[in-house]
């Protein structure tokens, strides 16, 4: 019996189609369009590119084709986004003033309009995901998911149009929109949402959207405040250190790490809400942030900090207070929500997959950053505050993965560790800009 089963298994394995044979006509059409687009761009714009930019363009086609083959929604997400962006580019007619003159640009497809619509869709998506979770409403989950997809489409369209708008200002101003806090907050929101929607489909569960969309909504809320208070949406020329092709690959890789780490922390929150004791949750998630901020305020004034640090503390206090309120609300609903969340093994697996993907890309981003630093400043590593905190983030998740793989770390300890990782990552992302200065001070608050 065993021999027969082994023979059947071996025959099934040998008869399984290979990787390329598993792809259907739409997959190959998607790949062909990507290759054709890359060749067209290379033929038309090669004179404006250096060898590295040409290599990135050529490598992008197979990379995105593989992504589309692995995750089918990309096959329609990318073409739709590019068509909307090309439509907007055609409406501009080579003049930036068209953004305030043409209806569809002014209210939908200019970069700022599209990004505002993205923000609205993310907020509404969060609301409907929570309605779905609290009321056991499949309609709430469905609407929340569709709104999240709409936010992705509009956000990526806005980013592509902003890229074009920068060149309308001037050829020397034009750059990929990943150069300041305004742009990378949009990038963070979009990457986090994409990874969430991938896991939503892979694990066939939408209950985690209520948690993951909250961190995205927090980022969007900061983005809107930052836009209003600092006119951050204005496109500015790049500082000399950022005028490099390295930025095109270092920053996106970095924010894939940030986005997946944030996603894992929100899944950890859901895990703890399901399995942790309520008193422990209240102490750690509500009282602790407020107590830490009170201590930080005391230290700030004791050392006679300047206005910039005080403003940073005000912003950090708002953030900590918002987190405390959100955690408090969900803790009050714990008994109602706990049995509606996915099983513990699903939550742990999503955490592990998200942190593994983020760690891989964050490692690549750190290596690319060192190579960029060598070109820009003459050294691979200078212990700049941003570099130091990037190393701390890397070591934190390297230790988490090591403990899981070597020691079988599971359960509440791994979830708490992943949740605390959000604080470490947030300080590396924002705290350094608030309180410290260095070579990476391009996005001061």
Tens-place pLDDT, residues 394-408: 999 999 999 998 888
C-alpha angle with apex 157: 87 to 91, nearest 5 degrees? 25
Reply yes or no on whether the pLDDT at 434 is more than 70. no
More confident residue, 23 or 304: 23
Q: Please give the structure tokens belonging to residue 149.
A: 């997809």
Mean pLDDT over 201-228 rounds to 91
Between 421 and 198, whose confidence is greater? 198
Name the more confident of 170 and 440. Answer: 170
Question: Over 80: is that where the pLDDT of 91 sits?
Answer: yes
> Span 269-284, mean pLDDT?
71
| Average pLDDT estimate for 240-246 | 78
pLDDT at 302: 52
Is residue 264 a contact partner of residue 355, using CB atoms and an 8 Å limit? yes
Q: What is the model's pLDDT at position 185?
A: 93
Question: What is the pLDDT of the chain when averaged over all its residues?
Answer: 83
Q: pLDDT of 330-348, one tens digit each?
A: 666 666 777 888 998 999 9
What band does 135 get if pLDDT is binned at 50, 70 and 90? confident
What pLDDT is stored for residue 210 in this prediction? 92
* pLDDT recorded at residue 428: 84
106/6: higher pLDDT: 106
Q: Is the pLDDT of residue 41 over 90?
A: no
For the record, the structure tokens of 262 come out as 């944030």
SS (H, E, C) the chain: CHHHHHHHHHHHHHHCCCCCCCCCHHHHHHHHHHHHHHHHHHHHHHHHCCHHHHHHHHHHHHHHHHHHHHCCCHHHHHHHHHHHHHHHHHHHCCCHHHHHCCHHHHHHHCHHHHHHHHHHHHHHHHHHHHHHHHHCCHHHHHHHHHHHHHHHHHHHHHHHHHHHHHHHHCCCCCCCCCCCHHHHHHHHHHHHHHHHHHHHHHHCCCCCHHHHHHHHHHHHHHHHHHHHHHCCCCCCCCCHHHCCCHHHHHHHHHHHHHHHHHHHHHHHHHHHHHHCCHHHHHHHHHHHHHHHHHHHHHHHHHCCCCHHHHHHHHHHHHHHHHHHHHHHHHHHCHHHHHHHCCCHHHHHHHHHHHHHHHHHHHHHHHHHHHHHHHHHHCCCCCCCHHHHHHHHHHHHHHHHHHHHHHHCCCHHHHHHHHHHHHHHHHHHHHHHHHHCCCCCCCCCC
Q: Tell me the pLDDT band of 1, cut-offs 50, 70 and 90.
A: very low
Could you report the per-residue pLDDT of 281-310, keeping only the tens digit for each? 555 555 555 555 565 555 555 555 555 555
Q: Are 256 and 361 in contact (CB under 8 A)?
A: yes
119 CB-contact burial (10 Å; exposed 0-12 / middle 13-18 / buried 19+):
buried
Of 81-90, 249-258, 407-416, 435-444, least confident by mean pLDDT is 435-444
Q: How far is Cα 25 from Cα 338, in angstroms, rounded to an integer?
A: 43
Tokens representing 30 are 């998607």
Between residues 252 and 311, the one the model is more confident about = 252
- pLDDT attached to residue 3: 52
* Both tokens assigned to 333: 């609903």
Q: Calculate mean pLDDT across residues 379-383.
A: 78
Tokens found for residue 301: 């004034």
Range 1-14 average pLDDT:
50
Nearest of 191, 422, 445 to residue 327 by alpha carbon: 422
pLDDT for 127 equals: 95
pLDDT at residue 204 is higher than 70? yes
Question: In the chain, what percentage of residues exceed pLDDT 70?
Answer: 80
């Amino acid at each position: 019996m065993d021999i027969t089963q082994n023979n059947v298994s071996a025959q099934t394995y040998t008869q399984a189609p290979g990787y390329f044979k598993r792809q259907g006509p739409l997959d190959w059409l998607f790949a062909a369009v990507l290759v054709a687009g890359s060749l067209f761009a290379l033929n038309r714009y090669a004179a404006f590119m250096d060898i590295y930019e040409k290599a990135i363009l050529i490598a992008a086609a197979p990379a995105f084709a593989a992504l589309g083959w692995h995750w089918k929604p990309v096959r329609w997400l990318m073409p739709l986004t590019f068509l909307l962006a090309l439509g907007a580019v055609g409406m501009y007619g080579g003049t930036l003033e068209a953004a305030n003159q043409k209806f569809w640009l002014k209210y939908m497809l200019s970069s700022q309009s599209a990004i505002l619509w993205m923000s609205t869709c993310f907020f509404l998506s969060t609301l409907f995901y929570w309605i779905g979770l609290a009321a056991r409403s499949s309609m709430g989950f469905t609407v929340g998911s569709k709104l999240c997809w709409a936010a992705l489409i509009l956000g990526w369209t806005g980013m592509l149009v902003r890229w074009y708008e920068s060149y309308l200002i001037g050829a020397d101003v034009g750059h990929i929109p990943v150069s300041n806090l305004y742009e990378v907050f949009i990038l963070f929101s979009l990457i986090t949402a994409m990874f969430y929607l991938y896991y939503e489909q892979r694990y066939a569960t939408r209950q985690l959207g209520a948690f993951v969309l909250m961190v995205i909504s927090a980022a969007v809320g900061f983005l809107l405040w930052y836009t209003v208070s600092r006119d951050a949406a204005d496109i500015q020329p790049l500082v000399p250190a950022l005028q490099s092709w390295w930025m095109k690959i270092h920053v996106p890789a970095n924010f894939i790490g940030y986005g997946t780490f944030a996603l894992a922390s929100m899944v950890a929150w859901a895990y703890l809400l399901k399995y942790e004791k309520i008193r422990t949750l209240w102490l750690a998630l509500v009282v602790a942030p407020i107590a830490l901020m009170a201590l930080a305020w005391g230290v700030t004034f004791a050392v006679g900090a300047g206005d910039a640090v005080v403003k940073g503390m005000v912003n950090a206090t708002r953030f900590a207070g918002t987190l405390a309120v959100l955690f408090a609300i969900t803790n009050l609903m714990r008994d109602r929500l706990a049995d509606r969340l996915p099983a513990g093994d699903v939550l742990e697996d999503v955490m592990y997959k998200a942190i593994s993907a983020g760690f891989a890309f964050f490692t690549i981003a750190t290596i690319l950053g060192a190579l960029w630093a060598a070109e820009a400043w003459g050294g691979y590593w200078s212990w700049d505050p941003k570099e130091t905190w990037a190393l701390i983030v890397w070591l934190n998740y390297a230790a988490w993965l090591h403990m899981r793989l070597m020691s079988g770390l599971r359960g509440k300890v791994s979830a708490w560790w992943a949740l605390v990782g959000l604080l470490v990552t947030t300080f590396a992302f924002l705290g350094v800009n608030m309180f410290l200065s260095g070579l990476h001070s391009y996005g001061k608050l």
